[in-house]
Structure 1
Amino acid sequence: MRSFEEMTGIVDGNIRYSGFGFREFFEILPDAFVVRPEISRSESIKLFSKALRECRHAGKMNGDHLIERAEAIHRSSLAVPQVKFALWTKFRATNMASHPSFRLCWHGVEVRSAARLPKHLRHSDYFFGGFGRIYPDEPQGFGHIIMYCADRTEARAVERMMDTLQLVTGLINLYEVWQGRTLWAGRNWTDGRLWLGPNQFVFREKEFLSDKNILYNTDYDEESWRQNPLSMDRVLKVVPIVRRALSALKNHPLNDMLSRSVMLLQDGFVARDSNHRLLRYWSALEQIYVESNDKMRSNEKILDRAIFAEAEPEICRWKLSHIARLRNNYVHAGGSSDDLNYMSQFLREMLARHINHWIFKGINLKNHREMLDLVSMSSDRDMLLNRRKLINKRLKYIDDIVNTFEVD
């Protein structure tokens, strides 16, 4: 806070900054405090940065006043009534008009597919400064994915809906390519065929908001979009298992970890660059098999835990070790003849199996820590049986010690 005060000044009642370093303070502010789990990272950054600016105006630059202002701002925001928001984007599936739509729900966000938009969500093309003319109907020949939720602010609603879209498309891609290999056919090919649309249009009730703040996919390319899209009948085949997965995740003890893993997996699914794809897959593996507060993230720890249920653990370990080297070196070009593609597909298949396993088989675990303790145990059955005997003996010693202090 002292550094922030030194790089700012109050001129005519406004904060004047002497450089751009203040933005770095805003990004790391939540790390200095214990933030409630229901407050997202982006929301906490906005909350604390606003509190910090108010403290600077008031001349009270200390931690106690910052916490006091942040709590007051948060209480004020909770008093704002919720309103209904909608967000839609193009859905990369063909023949939607000749197939039924689907509907999914995730933590208060409703997701629907639609060949044709409801009237209140349609909008003609318009000009947006800095971007040019926006054509909501492009690319033609494709339907839409629509999300609805109620929230207090546009920013919170958009974040929830975009995260839900990432999770849902990640699960659809996961089960659509289940135990399959991608046959590469050019630079525009990806592991998963459901991508984010070119633009995302936001509505508050029936008010169009995207003429003020446009959301867009920086990686969108129409030529790539039109090559090898997913058919709607294929989507509908995997929707039932996606619905079951979302239902299992709803009150799952590993919900946060698994949701983040699926979203990272989706980042890899849509990546056209092999290096980026491998990095995102590896990050998803880290989410599963490393403690969330572990800053070192040792590769050896990941390898030891990730092979806990593999039929050929040594071969799997060699492959993962090779992938770790590829990730660390980051020197491969990522061409279709490069082993980077083959290794990333191996990792993707493995991730899909492990994520699916923990979604449906990890529901009885207490928490992530218990899961990591479980996979850290030896896979040698005889060794585990011997350890069980030893544990029972140790428990008996403890009971005997307690009993010696009891009064008859």
Structure 2
Amino acid sequence: MSFETPERQALRDSVRAFVEHRVRPYLADWERAGEVPRSLHREAADAGLLGIGFDEKVGGEGGDLVDVSVVTEELIRAGGSSGLVAALFTHGIALPHIAEAGGDELIDRFVRPTLAGELIGALAVTEPDGGSDVAALRTRAVRDGDHYLVNGAKTYITSGARADFVTTAVRTGEPGWGGVSLLVVERATPGFTVSRRLEKMGWHCSDTAELSFVDARVPARNLVGAQDSGFAHLMRQFQVERLSLAVQAYATAERCLELTLAWVRDRSTFGRPLVSRQLVRHRLVEMTQQIELARTYVRSVVLDVAEGKEVVAQVCMAKNAAVRACDFVVDAAVQLHGGFGYMREAEVERHYRDSRILGIGGGASEVLADLAARRMGYTA
């Protein structure tokens, strides 16, 4: 397996063309609006991009985790952003559980139309009084005939304001990981509301919401897989989500290096281009080195996961390494851009803000470091 094949180069070309024509001219407007238009989902589906990584049997375009990573890389490197990835490809975290265990009815109702760009889905796990500790979630679903009554709240939900349905982690059993299930909650469900939109430091084009469930009546047929099996589904998909964020991190760093290199070649101080200064050249080398190391490691772990290997600790370390590299590079990019780097019109300024979430989302860096330590037996 390889990231560099003729087929994947053609995929890169398609992504780059899509970004250049359908994203870059409008991204600043979407940032100000606080969301991307629903039409963009249909356009991405028509371009053959929305269904990458999903089996053709469920309405996808086929491909594997490597292909998904290629799309993510090129979308950012062509001038998109990690915020755009979050907004446009939110189905990447909302659908896999349904596609894997939901059965034909749920696939026909939610997976196919979402991959066609007709619906928008979200994943709701995080709660106001808890984050990475999924096994401790408190939103409860109690069986009531042919329905579940759901009570609780979710927060920091990507695409939560626009979502037509939310794949929701709920407690259907006893405390702990064994009592967690997944329910698909539709927008029009009585008792389900979007409490408020949340304003953020970055990812401005990606809407984020707080959700409320007050005796929300959800049909029992919307249960994904068996009752109390949700934790296992979530853990499997968290590995993919963490690698996606790792790819976003090094791709963001690559884009910032490209922008910075162009800037220091064009910008002159005291009669000489910035790139002629030894300090600047050395900083560019440091940035390149951090990117190369992160990209090489993350890609190797992506290939391992795509081949079905059990590499939980390596996924954690790959994400943390890529985030650290991205933090260094975006900071250096803003610094080398000088005063312009602090302006909203500078692309590196957006990446600087957007990148801060990458070490928090999908499992905070500290949580992942501890998980890696336990997986490798580094315990008392």
User: Fold conserved (TM > 0.5)?
Assistant: no
Which structure has more RCO (C-alpha within 8 Å, separation ≥ 6)?
A: 2
What is the TM-score normalised by the length of structure 2?
0.30
